Amino acid sequence: MTISVNGIEISAAALAAESERLNYAPDPHKAAIEALILREVLLQTARRKLGGDAHEELLANNKYPVDDAEDFVEDAMIERLIEQEVAKPQLSDEECATYYQNNPAQFRSGEMVEASHILFEAAAGQVTEELRQKAAAVLQQAMQHPEQFAELARAHSTCTSASLGGNLGQLTRGETVPEFEQIVFNLGQGKIAPELVETRFGLHIVMVAHRAESQVYPFEMVREELAAHLLEQKGQRALRQYLRGLIAQADIKGYAMA
Protein backbone atom coordinates (compact mmCIF):
# COMPACT_ATOMS: atom_id res chain seq x y z
CA MET A 1 0.00 0.00 0.00
CA THR A 2 1.23 3.50 -0.84
CA ILE A 3 2.36 5.61 2.12
CA SER A 4 1.72 9.35 1.97
CA VAL A 5 1.95 12.37 4.26
CA ASN A 6 -0.58 15.10 3.58
CA GLY A 7 -0.85 13.85 0.02
CA ILE A 8 2.91 13.59 -0.59
CA GLU A 9 3.88 10.01 -1.42
CA ILE A 10 6.95 8.33 0.04
CA SER A 11 8.58 6.58 -2.90
CA ALA A 12 9.69 2.97 -2.93
CA ALA A 13 13.19 4.11 -3.89
CA ALA A 14 13.43 6.41 -0.86
CA LEU A 15 12.15 3.64 1.38
CA ALA A 16 14.69 1.14 0.01
CA ALA A 17 17.57 3.60 0.46
CA GLU A 18 16.51 4.45 4.03
CA SER A 19 16.10 0.76 4.91
CA GLU A 20 19.67 0.16 3.75
CA ARG A 21 20.91 3.10 5.83
CA LEU A 22 19.10 1.76 8.91
CA ASN A 23 20.14 -1.87 8.39
CA TYR A 24 21.39 -2.03 12.00
CA ALA A 25 17.84 -1.54 13.36
CA PRO A 26 15.86 -4.58 14.61
CA ASP A 27 13.32 -3.96 11.84
CA PRO A 28 15.00 -1.77 9.16
CA HIS A 29 11.85 -1.53 7.02
CA LYS A 30 9.68 -0.28 9.88
CA ALA A 31 12.40 2.12 11.07
CA ALA A 32 12.77 3.49 7.54
CA ILE A 33 9.03 4.12 7.15
CA GLU A 34 8.83 6.00 10.44
CA ALA A 35 12.00 8.01 9.76
CA LEU A 36 10.74 9.11 6.34
CA ILE A 37 7.29 9.99 7.68
CA LEU A 38 8.83 12.09 10.45
CA ARG A 39 11.16 13.80 8.01
CA GLU A 40 8.33 14.59 5.59
CA VAL A 41 6.14 15.97 8.38
CA LEU A 42 8.99 18.16 9.64
CA LEU A 43 9.94 19.31 6.17
CA GLN A 44 6.39 20.28 5.27
CA THR A 45 6.06 22.15 8.56
CA ALA A 46 9.39 23.93 7.98
CA ARG A 47 8.37 25.05 4.49
CA ARG A 48 5.07 26.34 5.78
CA LYS A 49 6.43 28.16 8.83
CA LEU A 50 9.79 29.38 7.52
CA GLY A 51 8.68 30.16 3.99
CA GLY A 52 10.51 30.03 0.68
CA ASP A 53 12.88 32.83 1.66
CA ALA A 54 14.53 30.61 4.24
CA HIS A 55 15.11 27.93 1.61
CA GLU A 56 16.73 30.37 -0.80
CA GLU A 57 18.82 31.94 1.97
CA LEU A 58 20.19 28.60 3.11
CA LEU A 59 20.88 27.53 -0.45
CA ALA A 60 22.73 30.78 -1.23
CA ASN A 61 24.72 31.09 2.02
CA ASN A 62 26.08 27.55 2.26
CA LYS A 63 28.46 25.65 0.01
CA TYR A 64 26.81 22.28 -0.29
CA PRO A 65 27.87 19.51 -2.68
CA VAL A 66 26.04 20.19 -5.92
CA ASP A 67 24.49 16.73 -6.18
CA ASP A 68 23.15 16.79 -2.61
CA ALA A 69 22.46 20.52 -2.15
CA GLU A 70 18.71 20.11 -1.82
CA ASP A 71 19.05 17.39 0.84
CA PHE A 72 21.44 19.56 2.86
CA VAL A 73 19.12 22.56 2.62
CA GLU A 74 16.17 20.46 3.74
CA ASP A 75 18.15 19.21 6.74
CA ALA A 76 19.11 22.78 7.59
CA MET A 77 15.50 23.91 7.39
CA ILE A 78 14.39 21.13 9.72
CA GLU A 79 17.13 22.10 12.19
CA ARG A 80 16.05 25.75 12.04
CA LEU A 81 12.41 24.75 12.57
CA ILE A 82 13.28 22.74 15.67
CA GLU A 83 15.40 25.58 17.05
CA GLN A 84 12.52 27.97 16.51
CA GLU A 85 9.62 25.78 17.66
CA VAL A 86 11.01 23.59 20.45
CA ALA A 87 11.74 25.56 23.61
CA LYS A 88 15.25 25.31 25.01
CA PRO A 89 15.09 23.35 28.28
CA GLN A 90 15.96 25.07 31.53
CA LEU A 91 17.50 23.39 34.56
CA SER A 92 17.89 24.64 38.11
CA ASP A 93 20.58 23.70 40.63
CA GLU A 94 17.80 22.33 42.83
CA GLU A 95 16.74 19.86 40.12
CA CYS A 96 20.32 18.63 39.76
CA ALA A 97 20.75 18.26 43.51
CA THR A 98 17.43 16.43 43.88
CA TYR A 99 18.29 13.97 41.09
CA TYR A 100 21.71 13.36 42.66
CA GLN A 101 20.20 12.70 46.08
CA ASN A 102 17.52 10.35 44.71
CA ASN A 103 19.87 8.29 42.50
CA PRO A 104 23.06 7.64 44.49
CA ALA A 105 23.79 4.35 42.70
CA GLN A 106 24.38 6.25 39.43
CA PHE A 107 27.23 8.21 41.01
CA ARG A 108 29.03 5.37 42.74
CA SER A 109 32.53 4.32 41.75
CA GLY A 110 33.08 0.65 41.07
CA GLU A 111 34.75 -1.56 43.64
CA MET A 112 38.28 -2.38 42.49
CA VAL A 113 41.05 -4.75 43.52
CA GLU A 114 44.64 -5.20 42.44
CA ALA A 115 45.21 -8.95 42.36
CA SER A 116 47.90 -11.46 41.49
CA HIS A 117 47.65 -15.17 40.88
CA ILE A 118 49.65 -18.27 40.18
CA LEU A 119 47.94 -20.41 37.57
CA PHE A 120 48.34 -24.15 37.22
CA GLU A 121 46.71 -24.65 33.84
CA ALA A 122 44.61 -27.78 33.43
CA ALA A 123 45.04 -29.58 30.10
CA ALA A 124 41.66 -29.94 28.37
CA GLY A 125 40.08 -28.43 31.48
CA GLN A 126 40.77 -31.55 33.55
CA VAL A 127 42.50 -31.04 36.92
CA THR A 128 44.60 -34.11 37.71
CA GLU A 129 45.52 -35.19 41.22
CA GLU A 130 49.18 -34.61 40.39
CA LEU A 131 48.43 -31.01 39.36
CA ARG A 132 46.36 -30.45 42.51
CA GLN A 133 49.16 -31.73 44.75
CA LYS A 134 51.71 -29.52 43.01
CA ALA A 135 49.47 -26.45 43.34
CA ALA A 136 48.76 -27.25 47.01
CA ALA A 137 52.50 -27.46 47.76
CA VAL A 138 53.13 -24.05 46.16
CA LEU A 139 50.13 -22.61 48.04
CA GLN A 140 51.65 -23.77 51.31
CA GLN A 141 54.92 -22.03 50.40
CA ALA A 142 53.06 -18.82 49.52
CA MET A 143 51.12 -18.86 52.79
CA GLN A 144 54.32 -19.31 54.77
CA HIS A 145 56.28 -16.71 52.77
CA PRO A 146 53.84 -14.23 51.20
CA GLU A 147 56.74 -11.91 50.37
CA GLN A 148 57.88 -14.56 47.86
CA PHE A 149 54.56 -14.60 45.95
CA ALA A 150 55.95 -12.86 42.86
CA GLU A 151 58.97 -15.17 42.80
CA LEU A 152 56.73 -18.24 43.10
CA ALA A 153 54.53 -16.93 40.25
CA ARG A 154 57.53 -16.52 37.97
CA ALA A 155 58.68 -20.04 38.78
CA HIS A 156 55.38 -21.92 38.61
CA SER A 157 52.57 -19.96 36.90
CA THR A 158 51.57 -20.93 33.36
CA CYS A 159 49.76 -17.59 32.86
CA THR A 160 51.37 -14.86 30.78
CA SER A 161 51.24 -12.73 33.94
CA ALA A 162 54.06 -14.89 35.36
CA SER A 163 56.62 -12.46 33.94
CA LEU A 164 54.96 -9.75 36.06
CA GLY A 165 55.07 -11.83 39.21
CA GLY A 166 51.49 -12.94 38.64
CA ASN A 167 50.15 -9.37 38.72
CA LEU A 168 46.78 -9.05 36.93
CA GLY A 169 46.50 -5.31 37.49
CA GLN A 170 43.34 -3.58 38.68
CA LEU A 171 40.15 -5.59 38.33
CA THR A 172 36.51 -4.56 38.53
CA ARG A 173 33.51 -6.84 38.88
CA GLY A 174 32.61 -8.68 35.69
CA GLU A 175 36.16 -8.84 34.30
CA THR A 176 36.94 -12.36 35.50
CA VAL A 177 35.11 -15.68 35.72
CA PRO A 178 32.61 -15.85 38.63
CA GLU A 179 34.59 -18.35 40.75
CA PHE A 180 37.67 -16.14 40.61
CA GLU A 181 35.71 -12.92 41.17
CA GLN A 182 33.97 -14.31 44.26
CA ILE A 183 37.34 -14.91 45.91
CA VAL A 184 39.21 -11.71 44.97
CA PHE A 185 36.36 -9.39 45.94
CA ASN A 186 35.95 -11.04 49.34
CA LEU A 187 39.64 -11.29 50.17
CA GLY A 188 41.27 -8.77 52.50
CA GLN A 189 44.02 -6.44 51.35
CA GLY A 190 47.42 -8.10 51.41
CA LYS A 191 45.84 -11.54 51.92
CA ILE A 192 46.30 -14.82 50.08
CA ALA A 193 43.29 -17.09 49.62
CA PRO A 194 43.88 -20.11 51.93
CA GLU A 195 42.37 -22.54 49.41
CA LEU A 196 43.07 -23.21 45.75
CA VAL A 197 40.57 -21.55 43.41
CA GLU A 198 39.37 -23.85 40.63
CA THR A 199 38.07 -22.40 37.35
CA ARG A 200 37.79 -23.70 33.80
CA PHE A 201 41.39 -22.55 33.30
CA GLY A 202 42.78 -24.71 36.07
CA LEU A 203 43.88 -24.02 39.65
CA HIS A 204 44.78 -20.59 40.99
CA ILE A 205 46.61 -19.29 44.02
CA VAL A 206 45.20 -15.81 44.57
CA MET A 207 46.52 -12.76 46.39
CA VAL A 208 44.99 -9.29 46.71
CA ALA A 209 47.55 -6.50 47.02
CA HIS A 210 45.20 -3.51 47.24
CA ARG A 211 41.48 -2.80 47.49
CA ALA A 212 39.52 0.32 46.53
CA GLU A 213 36.04 0.20 48.02
CA SER A 214 33.03 1.55 46.18
CA GLN A 215 32.18 5.17 47.04
CA VAL A 216 29.74 7.85 45.95
CA TYR A 217 31.32 10.69 43.98
CA PRO A 218 30.76 14.15 45.53
CA PHE A 219 28.02 16.25 43.94
CA GLU A 220 30.48 18.96 42.90
CA MET A 221 32.50 16.41 40.95
CA VAL A 222 29.53 15.24 38.86
CA ARG A 223 27.44 18.45 38.74
CA GLU A 224 28.50 19.55 35.24
CA GLU A 225 28.09 16.14 33.61
CA LEU A 226 24.79 15.55 35.42
CA ALA A 227 23.41 18.91 34.30
CA ALA A 228 24.32 18.16 30.68
CA HIS A 229 22.64 14.75 30.93
CA LEU A 230 19.44 16.15 32.46
CA LEU A 231 19.27 18.96 29.91
CA GLU A 232 19.63 16.45 27.09
CA GLN A 233 16.81 14.34 28.57
CA LYS A 234 14.57 17.40 28.86
CA GLY A 235 15.38 18.41 25.30
CA GLN A 236 14.54 14.93 24.00
CA ARG A 237 11.22 14.93 25.87
CA ALA A 238 10.34 18.35 24.45
CA LEU A 239 11.22 17.21 20.93
CA ARG A 240 9.17 14.01 21.26
CA GLN A 241 6.19 16.02 22.48
CA TYR A 242 6.52 18.40 19.54
CA LEU A 243 6.75 15.53 17.05
CA ARG A 244 3.70 13.85 18.55
CA GLY A 245 1.76 17.04 17.97
CA LEU A 246 2.84 17.25 14.34
CA ILE A 247 2.03 13.60 13.71
CA ALA A 248 -1.41 13.98 15.29
CA GLN A 249 -2.22 16.86 12.92
CA ALA A 250 -0.84 15.21 9.77
CA ASP A 251 -2.88 13.17 7.30
CA ILE A 252 -0.83 9.97 7.10
CA LYS A 253 -2.10 7.20 4.86
CA GLY A 254 -0.78 3.65 4.44
CA TYR A 255 0.89 3.40 7.86
CA ALA A 256 -0.24 3.83 11.47
CA MET A 257 2.35 5.78 13.43
CA ALA A 258 2.63 4.77 17.10
* Residue-level pLDDT at 57: 79
C-beta of residue 205 within 8 angstroms of C-beta of residue 48 = no
Strand partners, 119: 204
As a whole number of angstroms, the distance between CA 6 and CA 130 comes to: 79
C-beta of residue 5 within 8 angstroms of C-beta of residue 41: yes
CA angle, 187 as apex, 181 and 192 as ends, to 5°?
105
Please report the pLDDT score of residue 67 as a whole number.
63
State the DSSP string of 16-84: HHHHHHTTTSSSHHHHHHHHHHHHHHHHHHHHHHHHHHHHHHHHHHS---GGGHHHHHHHHHHHHHHHH
In terms of DSSP bridges, do strands 112-121 and 202-212 run parallel, antiparallel, or are they unpaired? antiparallel
pLDDT of amino acid 257: 87
Q: How far apart are CA 217 and CA 56, in angstroms?
A: 51
Q: What is residue 210's predicted lDDT score, i.e. its pLDDT?
A: 94
Task: Give the pLDDT of residue 108.
Answer: 85
pLDDT at site 125: 77
Residue 238 confidence (pLDDT): 95
Span 189-222, pLDDT tens digits: 999 999 999 999 999 999 999 998 888 899 999 9
Instruction: Spell out, as residue ranges, where the chain has pLDDT lower than 50.
Output: none
Domains of the chain: 4-87+236-253 (no CATH), 109-212 (3.10.50.40)
pLDDT of residue 64: 58
**What pLDDT was estimated at residue 62?**
64
The 8-class DSSP code of residue 189 comes to T
**pTM, full prediction:** 0.60
